[in-house]
Amino acid sequence: MPSNKTALIIGASRGLGLGLVQRLVEDGWNVVATVRDPAKAETLSTLPRVRIETLEMNNIHQLDTLQERLGMQTFDLLFVNAGIKGPDDQNPENARLADIGELFMTNSVAPIRVAQRFAPQVRRNTGVIAFMSSALGSVSIPNEPELSLYKASKAALNSMINSFVMRLEDVPLTVLAMHPGWVKTDMGGEGADIDVQTSTRGMLDQVNAWSGKGGLHFTNYKGDSLIW
């Protein structure tokens, strides 16, 4: 059944971003979905109530254009999903400046810039801003040293989310740092624990459950709290 809610999903061409859009459409939401290359958005373009926009998240001119195109549209959900794994070899010994710059800009800095731009358009009181973090971004749990650069980029995202929320001051919104589970996508691989349907349905259940509650929460798709 159509709802009167609208979401802005950043990074929706495939994987979890596409899954979020599919679940929202099933629930009757209207969606603005951003992709880097609209020519590769075949699945998205078949979905009803989905408006496709272009955004390479690291390109500030494209962000300016998107902001102009979306005017003062109000969103019930802003979900910044886009992210990358970084170089295959994540031993700091072999890290290259360009790779580290791209990884931290994409995973840690650009998501916050997008959120800062669109936060004024997120509905007061019930609106939710969600960032795709990861349990690997927790600095308290030693694990997965072979993903050390990716882990650091998500820890940096969590820190940037913390500063973003402080800057919001008393604007009444709920902010979520979300762990989707280990999911079968191009990034997660075939051997991952769960499928996109399970992860995205769970994450949207969490969005709905936290709507209106306010504050900042680091949670997984099942609703378990995570340690920062």
Ligand X SMILES: NC(=O)c1ccc[n+]([C@@H]2O[C@H](COP(=O)([O-])OP(=O)(O)OC[C@H]3O[C@@H](n4cnc5c(N)ncnc54)[C@H](OP(=O)(O)O)[C@@H]3O)[C@@H](O)[C@H]2O)c1
Among 22, 30, 108, 134, indicate the residue that binds ligand X (CB under 6 A). 134
8 A C-beta contact, residue 176 and residue 158: no
Residue 142: which residues within 8 A CB-CB, separation 6 or more?
A: none
Token reading at 120: 């004024």
Residue from the set 24, 188, 210, 219 that interacts with ligand X by CB under 6 A: 188
The smaller minimum CB distance to ligand X, of residues 59 and 126, is found at 59
Is-contact 8 35, C-beta < 8 A? no
From 6, 13, 158, 220, residue interacting with ligand X (rule: CB under 6 A):
13
Longest pairwise C-alpha distance within the chain: 54
For residues 79 and 118, is the Cβ–Cβ distance under 8 A? no
For residue 108, the minimal CB distance to ligand X (Å) is: 11
Strands 6-10 and 77-80, sheet pairing:
parallel
Of 52, 100, 171, 192, the residue at the interface with ligand X (CB under 6 A) is 192
Q: Is 56 among the residues that bind ligand X (CB under 6 A)?
A: yes
How is residue 75 annotated by DSSP?
B
Q: Which region, judged by CB under 6 A, interacts with ligand X, from 25-33, 78-86, 201-209, 211-219?
A: 78-86
Residue 85 structure tokens: 């794994």
Rounded CA-CA distance 17/132 in Å is 10
Of 82, 160, 173, 203, which one interacts with ligand X (CB under 6 A)? 82
Q: Does residue 14 interact with ligand X by CB under 6 A?
A: yes
Nearest-approach distance from CB 177 to ligand X, in angstroms: 11
Binding site for ligand X (CB under 6 A): 11, 13-17, 36-37, 55-58, 81-84, 106, 132, 134, 180, 182-183, 185-188, 192
